[in-house]
Amino acid sequence: MTNTHPSKVLKYCPFCGSHRFIWDGFKAHNCQDCKQRLYTNEAGAVVAIIKNDKQEILCTVRKFEPAKGTLDLPGGFIDLGETAEDAVKREVKEEVNLDISDLKFHCTLPNTYVYKDLTYFTIDIVFRCKANNLNALQAGDDVESYVFRNPNDIQPDEIGLDSIRKLIISLKDKT
């Protein structure tokens, strides 16, 4: 547990404002005054595996922290009320200007994402996708640039997020 873990950052009950907001050591804060319980659950996130004709995968370069300047894959957080499928389509469009189809579930991976001194726990839902037109490809949103790479040629230290690192390693010799 780091100092950015919610147990170290959240100090006051969001229901009544009490400072007697105690972490249970596992998954929730309990208010000693109003008896409310606030769970720290994983947030949903999506990841897209998109290949070109050479069977290389589309990698993005992160524009901002966390892990600025490292390789990533298109994706991001699922908005409230949004399906994972709609989220991956939206995120790919925002990040690399591609419309995707033929979504196929690949796997899920737990991840941690530290942003502004708070650790967010995510469950990354990974989809294999087909880009409808790679000519539309351009960096946008929080993407500095992009590159197609063979997973076998990507070194783990080039990747900034743990879940993406594990995913790329699992793709080696399988693309």
Domain holding 14, by residue range, is 6-39
- Domain presence at residue 1: no
Q: Are 75 and 21 members of one domain?
A: no
Residues 57 and 74 reside in one and the same domain = yes
pLDDT at 1: 44
The structure tokens 């960096």 sit at 139
Q: What is the pTM of this model?
A: 0.88
Co-location of 47 and 123 in the same domain: yes
Q: Average per-residue pLDDT in the chain? A: 94
| Range 16-38 average pLDDT | 96
pLDDT for res 78: 97
Please report, rounded to a whole number, the percentage of residues in the chain having pLDDT higher than 90. Answer: 83
Q: CATH number, domain at 157?
A: 3.90.79.10
My answer on whether 95 and 20 are in the same domain is no
Distance, first Cα to last Cα, the chain = 35
pLDDT of residue 2: 55
48 & 35 share domain: no
Q: Would you say residue 156 lies in a domain?
A: yes
**Mean of pLDDT values over 23-27:** 92
Give the burial class of 36: count Cβ atoms within 10 A of its Cβ; 0-12 exposed, 13-18 middle, 19 or more buried.
Answer: middle
Q: Same structural domain for residues 35 and 49? A: no
Is 130 found in the same domain as 90? Answer: yes
CA dihedral of residues 57, 69, 67, 46 (deg, nearest 10) = -30
Q: What is the pLDDT of residues 121-173, one digit of tens each?
A: 999 999 999 999 999 999 998 999 999 999 999 999 999 999 999 999 999 87
Domain count, the chain: 2
